[in-house]
Amino acid sequence: MRPLIKTEDLEVTYNLGKSNEFLALRDVNIEIYKGEYIVLFGTSGSGKSTLMNCILGSLPNSAGRILVKDRDIYNVSPEETVRYQRSTVGIMFQTFNLIPSVSVLDNVSLPQLFSGVSPAKREAKAQELLDRFGVGHVSHKLPTNLSGGQQQRVSVARSLVNDPEILLADEPVGNLDSRSASQVMNTVGEINIRDGVTVILVTHDAKHLPYAHRVYYLEDGRIVREVPNPEKKQIKKTKDASIVTEIERLARLFPYVSVEDLRVKSLVNYVTQNANFDQVTVLENALYRYIHGSLSNEDLKEIISARISEGGVGMDKRQATEMIKKISSIIENSNDVTRFRRGVLKTPLHYQHKFVQRIRGHLLELYNGELPEGLLKELDGLIISRLNGVIRRDAFEEALSRSPSKKGIGINKKTAFAMTEYFEKMITQGAAFEKVSH
């Protein structure tokens, strides 16, 4: 299956060659498949509208390519661009963009002007769409006499009148009260599911994430991660569709935070059992600085063992030492996960194998005993499968404790749990600078 939309190292620069030149998008590589509902998510200024306008064909890229149905949309005749904008894509804006001086019905039927359809048919189709979206009874009015929610439903009708394959919606409910907003959001969702239109929604509101098959997160003009919605059956085939890591789960719980902050949360969760909210907050801040190298082991120990009233975490020295040992071992050992992952694409697997053996060694530090050579090989196989996302966490844990006569490793349940937990933490820390899923 080929993607409907694909960008290759896409870059968009505003004011190219001028003193105020601004690189608004860089290294953007996305693939969108027919029938998907995609959310472009990010804070204000992250480049969402820029990417949307580029897909719309109205903002040429400065490097890379953008292909729609395998055609470079900025490398075609002007007629073809017009045809693309008129019939392949439909667009909705936050500000509705209706023509104030003509009726609602005309607003919706006008885009068909060049389609060769008779006026009567055009109006009939416009009326039908307005009826469908619950604004048929105001079709003779001027847009300004309608509520915001009604105006946006008119603009939904207008965007669909030429039967587009792709609906682009840039913060379509940003100006609406919450009731109208959810009506419009449901309408857009229905257009995706019932009409099979591919939807690309730009939003900074985490409430809208559940509508999507996949979410692309933007930060400073880059795609920083891509998260499939586990609640939805995926259309895009991913190489290791079964990978469900802790970081993906955290990403759904905390959609606004960066991958680095998720790493911190994962560590805090590992080393705190009964800490209260204040202690957790202090610890998160301290670990953030520790990970970034601005806090030494000693400084960290001091913060962890200082009294809560003095801005510390309030643990005793022995607990603090234990905690730091755990954290630094995870961070240190996760380097082997990172190295394994980096090398996988470039190096033959047998060279990579030394990292697998090292990871195995880290896990076996939690195991009091010796495993025979044959079981060590089995364990390596499990480690590789988990790293590649071929098996999930629970399958890994189950195989560790299953008996060797049933192709398991035969480790007791408690140790199997501890080893799995430790491994998952290593995987999360090792995921720091890569895309969260793929």
- Residues at the interface with Mg ion (CB under 5 A): 49
**x/- map, 15-34, ligand ADP, by CB under 6 A:** x------x-x----------
- From the list ligand ADP, Mg ion, none, partner contacted by residue 45 (C-beta under 5 to 8 A by kind): ligand ADP
Least distance (Å) between residue 221 CB and ligand ADP: 7
Q: Does 50 bind ligand ADP (CB under 6 A)?
A: yes
CB nearer ligand ADP, residue 9 or residue 21 = 21
Rounded to whole angstroms, the Cα distance separating 319 from 321 reads 5
Classify each residue of 296-316 as buried b or exposed e, where b means 16 or more C-beta atoms within 10 Å of its C-beta. Answer: eeeebbebbbbeeeeebbbbe
- From the list ligand ADP, Mg ion, none, partner contacted by residue 327 (C-beta under 5 to 8 A by kind): none
- The total number of residues shown for the chain amounts to 438
Q: Are 181 and 94 in contact (CB under 8 A)?
A: no
Residues 377-396 interacting with ligand ADP (rule: CB under 6 A): none
**x/- map, 210-229, ligand ADP, by CB under 6 A:** --------------------
Least distance (Å) between residue 69 CB and Mg ion: 25
Rounded to whole angstroms, the Cα distance separating 66 from 62 reads 11
CB nearer ligand ADP, residue 48 or residue 301 = 48
Instruction: Pick the binder of ligand ADP from 1, 17, 18, 44 (CB under 6 A).
Output: 44
Sheet with 214-219, side-by-side order of all strands: 89-93, 166-170, 198-203, 37-41, 214-219, 222-228
Q: Does 6 bind ligand ADP (CB under 6 A)?
A: no
DSSP 260-290: HHHHHHHHHHHH-SS--HHHHHHHHHHHHHH
Q: Does 14 bind ligand ADP (CB under 6 A)?
A: yes
Q: Does 13 bind ligand ADP (CB under 6 A)?
A: no
Q: Are 114 and 79 in contact (CB under 8 A)?
A: no
CB nearer ligand ADP, residue 60 or residue 404 = 60
Stretch that binds ligand ADP, among 42-50, 130-138, 152-160, 296-304 (CB under 6 A): 42-50
Secondary element (H or E) of residue 236? none
- Taking each helix axis from N to C end, the angle separating 297-305 and 317-344, rounded to the nearest 10 degrees, works out to 130
Least distance (Å) between residue 170 CB and ligand ADP: 7
How many alpha carbons fall within 13 Å on the CB side of residue 100? 3
Least distance (Å) between residue 94 CB and Mg ion: 8
- Identify which of 236, 252, 216 has the alpha carbon closest to the alpha carbon of residue 48: 216
- From the list ligand ADP, Mg ion, none, partner contacted by residue 312 (C-beta under 5 to 8 A by kind): none
SS3 (DSSP) at 191: helix
| Total number of residues that touch ligand ADP (CB under 6 A) | 12
Q: Does 48 bind ligand ADP (CB under 6 A)?
A: yes
CB nearer ligand ADP, residue 209 or residue 306 = 209
CB nearer ligand ADP, residue 47 or residue 111 = 47
User: By Cβ distance, which residue is nearest to Mg ion?
Assistant: 49
Token digits of residue 232: 């939805």
Rounded to whole angstroms, the Cα distance separating 327 from 342 reads 23
Q: Does 172 bind ligand ADP (CB under 6 A)?
A: no
Helices (H), 65-111: 78-83, 104-109
CA dihedral 85, 90, 94, 98 (to 10 degrees): 80
- From the list Mg ion, ligand ADP, none, partner contacted by residue 47 (C-beta under 5 to 8 A by kind): ligand ADP
Q: Does 49 bind ligand ADP (CB under 6 A)?
A: yes
Q: Which residues bind ligand ADP (CB under 6 A)?
A: 14-15, 22, 24, 42, 44-50
